Amino acid sequence: MAAILWVLTLCLFLVLCDSCSWIPSVDQQDFCSARYVFEADVIKGIALGDDEGYEYQIDVKDVFKNDSQEDVKSFKTIFGDGKWHSCGPQILLENTTYLIHANTYEGKLQIITFAYKQMQDVDNDDIRRMRELYDCSCEIRFNTGDIELEPSSPADECSVPADYCKRSFYCKRNSENVCESGNLGQCY
């Protein structure tokens, strides 16, 4: 019985550890999976309890993704995960400006896991990719393992090369309405 309990505990541990492990991705995927992407000043952060997360009072400065910029600019509160979340807490510093990717969850604006960074780490190329080059109608595919994807992808996909750059990679439709990839900016 002890051995079975140990195996189940080990399996649970591995599942929890693997849930936030590195999975190949590019910044465009974070952008496209978010309903809102915006720049905001963090005015005040409030810890809601050990497991409940954080509530942040924000002032939205610029909007990079959403149909209605005025709706997004009216956001005054966003929530982040707490320290007991399986992927760790989402801690934003007061009096700091961030690029935030967010969705709504149970009626509240929620930061997407690992999809926020200080604006001091965002450059003009990042902003240009968000405003002009990210095409969310294109699917991004990765070569995984020893299996290589076919060299010619369908018109609505970009295959990420083995030596890709997470930050500078983008996928966008060209004048023939075919998705094609490129890089803009620093590679890191």
pLDDT value at residue 59: 97
- Residue 173's nearest CA partner among 138, 128, 125 is 138
Q: Output the pLDDT for position 10.
A: 45
pLDDT at 11: 44
20 known ligand binder: yes
Taking only the tens of pLDDT, the chain with its 188 residues reads 665 665 555 444 444 444 565 677 899 999 999 999 999 999 999 999 767 789 999 999 999 998 677 788 889 999 988 776 777 788 899 999 999 999 998 889 999 988 899 999 999 999 999 999 999 999 998 866 655 555 545 789 998 888 889 999 999 999 999 999 999 998 86
DSSP 8-state assignment for residue 128: H
- Record the pTM: 0.81
Residues 41 and 61: their CA atoms lie apart, in Å, by 7
CATH 2.60.40.1180 corresponds to the domain 33-121? no
In the chain, where the domains are located? 33-121, 126-183
Which residue is it, tokens 């405003």?
Answer: 131
Strands 96-105 and 169-173: unpaired
